Structure 1
């Protein structure tokens, strides 16, 4: 029976693809990759007989028709998507027509750009007693946000915000976060093409300066915006350390060592 796999290609660097994804690519009979965001290098493990096509000019219907067309006999078909298929990947929209066609589905997760961006900037998204919550979201543009999920509302949590698909809306990011109680001096990190060899850019600024900095750097696409009270913690002289590694903290793998007063 044919099976279509929705595979996360990761943030850009082909070496960040999972081993399972690499093995599937090597077995695939057909691969449709999202060429506007996924490097063709991610298909390098495919066999010579594999049909490979770029979907960047296709509509949703053309994509699903292509996947159905190649889903014959015992074929292994891959839809190779940027990051992780479950996050801004139109996964359900593509799966429903395949379900109707009786085609088996599988999903392989991938590294999302929020994680690759934090790695590129050597930043932590969580820090004890500073923030323990990370919100993945986007700024409202042509696609409206559901009720209760505006950036003003999310920003009121004052936790880590990883904003996808929003680099052209930095003016609105500033306006909304200011309205949510953030300071113009709040640190912001923008990472363009996180993990892409020779293309990655890390831009550090504040809520007040980051728009102009990105303009000067020519960054207007494929960028992650991170706003967090934990940004820059690497340079702090004092931080609250994790209890997990505290000698005076017991857990099931280690007994606490009490220090002498």
Structure 2
């Protein structure tokens, strides 16, 4: 069996219980060494074979996994965050199908979730943003037509931008071209959940300036939108005057705000 496991955003204790248990049993682990925290490899048994995919091609990864799985070994392909987001696991799965090998995907905590935790923020706020756009800048790898940064910026939804911290001047230009103002709240989250994580709050117009100031050009997420501000509407879910399937409305109750001490 081959397991594609999300390693989580970085911290070794943010892998799922299932992911950790499979690492402990694995005979072969191929991990994304450029992004996965090597502390996770301490869960592996001493006799486990460990390979770093950072220096490998797709063909080399498949050539390592297939014979191990055919021999009855438990194989783990350890991806950063969650494999479904920029994990490039679909192409591996499609090749494995031709060998009639069983595989399973074990989800992980994506770095965009860890970034929100670092920011102590909620991506979806009433009357601010009810959608989250996960995307990246176009670089050496192109993006499809109508899926560029400016296209998405026009929606004014929350944006979480991966794989773009080395292109922030161009990113600023594209965000503004799409409709964001230069003073729109933004944040750079470097290595969310790692020991050296860093959060830099800024604006769309100062993204490049702040990244240069702190020497950040990789391993960072860019978040953009009004969710980083202070204004939002109260959720109706816990509003005493709002009825739903689990609670009757009580218009006599006051909308009391907690006292700040």
Q: TM-score, normalised by structure 1?
A: 0.94
**Aligned residue runs from structure 1 range 115-154, under 5 A:** 115-154=113-152
User: Which residue number in structure 2 is paired with residue 216 of structure 1?
Assistant: 213
In 2, Cα distance between equivalents of 1:220 and 1:69: 38
**Alpha-carbon distance change, 260 to 124 in structure 1, aligned in 2, over 3 angstroms:** closer
- Asked if 1:205 is matched to 2:197, the reply is no
Which residue does 2:74 correspond to in 1? 76
Q: What secondary structure, in the 3-state scheme, does the structure 2 residue paired with 1:209 have?
A: helix
Tell me if structure 2 keeps the 8 A contact 1:123–1:232: no
Aligned match of 2:27: 29
Change (3 A) 1:135 1:260: closer
CA distance in structure 2 between the aligned counterparts of 1:226 and 1:155, rounded to whole angstroms: 12
Consecutive unaligned residues in structure 1, runs of 5 or more: none
Q: 1:214 is paired with a residue of what secondary structure?
A: helix
Shift of 1:260: 6.6
Once superposed, what is the RMSD of the aligned Cα atoms?
1.3
Matches within 5 A, 1:82-101: 82-101=80-99
1:138-192 CA distance string (max 9 Å, x none): 0111111111101111110000010000011111111111111211111110101
Structure 2: distance between partners of 1:257 and 1:74: 62
1:69-126 CA-partner distances (Å, limit 9, x unpaired): 3213332100000011111011111111211111111000111111111110111111
Which consecutive aligned stretches of 4+ in structure 1 deviate over 3 angstroms post-superposition? none
TM-score of the aligned structures, taking structure 2 as reference length = 0.94
Q: Which runs of 5+ in 2 are unaligned?
A: 255-261
Residue in 2 aligned with 1:246?
239
Distance 1:32 1:64 in 2: 10
Equivalent residues in 2 for 1:42-57, closer than 5 Å: 42-57=40-55
